[in-house]
Amino acid sequence: MTALPAGLTAGTWNVDGVHSEFAFVARHAGVSKVRGTFEVIGGAIEVGETLEESRVTAEADAASITTGNEQRDGHLQSGDFLLAEENPKIVFTSSAIENVDGPEFDLRGTLSMRGVEQEVVFKAEFNGVAEDPYGNTVAGFSATATVNRKDFGMSFEAVLKGGELLVSDKVAISIEIEAVRA
């Protein structure tokens, strides 16, 4: 078991949605990358007595997706992708913290999108603890993973003349969390 990093204390830490980000990147037409975020996010970190005893829940409102293009955002909310009306939340719930190496670790858990649950392992990092200007104790975490959208039932299949997919199967997910000690 790994001792908690300096400044991180056992208890509940709530995700500060204003200072956190749930983002993704997908390749478009095989030549460029489209980036997007979810504007409404939340969750909590239950820090245990050791790092391995801790658990994370992070969520995003699927309808709050934004890529800088309203038409594309609407398509991503549709049945071709997120099916946001029927499945309003994207949720990651951790089940284990493994392979701790200093501030870095693997965060294993279940990612639920579009009504489908899949096990995902995020490469995560503890970024430290500070006191914000309002006297709150805050902790920072970063996590990244790559998923196959088809594993979540997103089977939109537009193939271009040269054989490239309009939207790549692989999607990179990054989560930046600033959590406030409850």
Q: What is the DSSP string of 57-115?
A: EEEEEGGGEE-S-HHHHHHHHSTTTT-TTT--EEEEEEEEEEEEETTEEEEEEEEEETT
Q: What is the pLDDT of residue 8?
A: 96
In 3D space, the residue among 105, 172, 169 whose CA is nearest the CA of residue 144 turns out to be: 172
Q: What is the pLDDT of residue 164?
A: 75
CA gap 35, 28 in Å, rounded: 10
CA gap 168, 181 in Å, rounded: 38
The whole-model pTM stands at 0.92
Q: What is the pLDDT of residue 52?
A: 95
Question: Coil, strand, or helix at residue 53?
Answer: helix
Q: What is the pLDDT of residue 161?
A: 80
Q: Is residue 4 part of a domain?
A: no
Q: Is residue 6 part of a domain?
A: no
Under 8 Å between Cβ of 68 and 32: no
If one counts the domains in the chain, the total is 1
CA gap 28, 60 in Å, rounded: 23
Q: Is residue 3 part of a domain?
A: no
What residues make up the domain containing 145? 11-181
Q: Is residue 128 part of a domain?
A: yes
Q: Which residue has the tokens 């969390």?
A: 177
Specify the CATH number for the domain of residue 55. Answer: 2.40.128.110
Q: Is residue 5 part of a domain?
A: no
Q: How many CA atoms lie within 13 A of 51 on its CB side?
A: 24
How does pLDDT run along the chain (182 residues), one tens digit per residue?
Answer: 889 999 999 999 999 999 999 999 999 988 899 999 999 999 999 999 999 999 999 999 999 999 999 999 999 999 999 999 999 999 999 999 999 999 999 999 999 999 999 999 999 999 999 999 999 999 999 999 999 999 999 988 887 787 777 889 999 999 999 999 99
Under 8 Å between Cβ of 91 and 112: yes
Q: How many CA atoms lie within 13 A of 106 on its CB side?
A: 9
